[in-house]
Amino acid sequence: MATWHSRGLRGSTFEDLINRTNDIYENSNLCLIQKVPTPITPINIDKDTRHITLAYFDKKSTVDYIGVVQGIPVCFDAKECHSDLFPLQNIHDHQINFMQTFEKQQGMAFFLLYFTQRDEFYYLRLEEVMRYWKRGQEGGRKSFRYEELDPDFFFHAKPGIFVPYLDPLQKDLSMRDA
């Protein structure tokens, strides 16, 4: 059973940067994106501070974020990568299924990756994920390399915006409209 101690805070710095970016975007009337809370059941609670010290996850979460950008429904998940190789086991079947269903309803689904050693962000389109996913299911490599990714979808922080994902989102939207 997965517990909060073992997995709960992975990626929390990256998610904090995304949360701050979402606040900036919302205050600028660019979008409304909400962090989807992961349902947990507390096991231990510190009686003095009333903080949860141990918990387990109730059910599988779908995606980290969901909302709307200028009238377009979006959902995405944030993943950190500590090397140039991203294992597909970090993406789960239920996430892929949710995102595919979301896109069937005219939404846009994607992943935001943070390559920590390079200090680079990557906007991973669902279509691109599916190429790697299919390759793994057909007996090929169950990961993808940094070098395989589309150079047009790498991005960096900007002054005042920590994770400026609206720029690659616009590129993605333009590709879909073409």
141-174 pLDDT, tens digit each: 999 999 999 999 999 999 999 999 999 999 999 9
* CATH class entry, domain 4-177: alpha beta
Q: What is the pLDDT of residues 96-119, one digit of tens each?
A: 999 999 999 999 999 999 999 999
CB–CB of 2/55 below 8 Å?
A: no
> Is the backbone of residue 162 left (phi > 0), alpha (psi -120 to 50) or beta?
alpha
Give the residue extent of every domain in the chain: 4-177
Tokens encoding 143: 């990961």
**Could you tell me the pTM of the whole model?**
0.84
Q: 117: annotated binding-site residue?
A: no
CB 99 within 8 A of CB 63: yes
| pLDDT reported for residue 4 | 40
Residue 18 binned pLDDT confidence (cut-offs 50, 70, 90): very high
Residue 69, pLDDT above cutoff 70 = yes
Tell me how far apart the alpha carbons of residues 86 and 71 are, in angstroms, rounded to a whole number: 32
Annotation-wise, does 62 bind a ligand? yes
3 is in an annotated binding site: no
Q: Does 64 belong to an annotated binding site? A: yes
Distance CA(77)–CA(113), nearest Å, equals: 9
Give the mean pLDDT of the chain.
Answer: 88
Q: Is residue 137 classed exposed, middle or buried when 0-12, 13-18 and 19+ CB atoms within 10 A define those classes?
A: exposed
Would you call 123 exposed, middle or buried from its count of C-beta atoms within 10 A (0-12, 13-18, 19+)? buried
At residue 12, the pLDDT reads 72
SS3 state of residue 106: coil
Rounded Cα distance between 178 and 176, Å, is 6
What pLDDT is stored for residue 1 in this prediction?
A: 38
* Mean pLDDT, range 75-97, rounded to an integer: 94
Average pLDDT over residues 122-132: 97
Residue 64 has pLDDT above 90, yes or no: yes
Instruction: Give pLDDT, residue 2.
Output: 41
Sorting pLDDT into bands at 50, 70 and 90, what band is 57? Answer: low
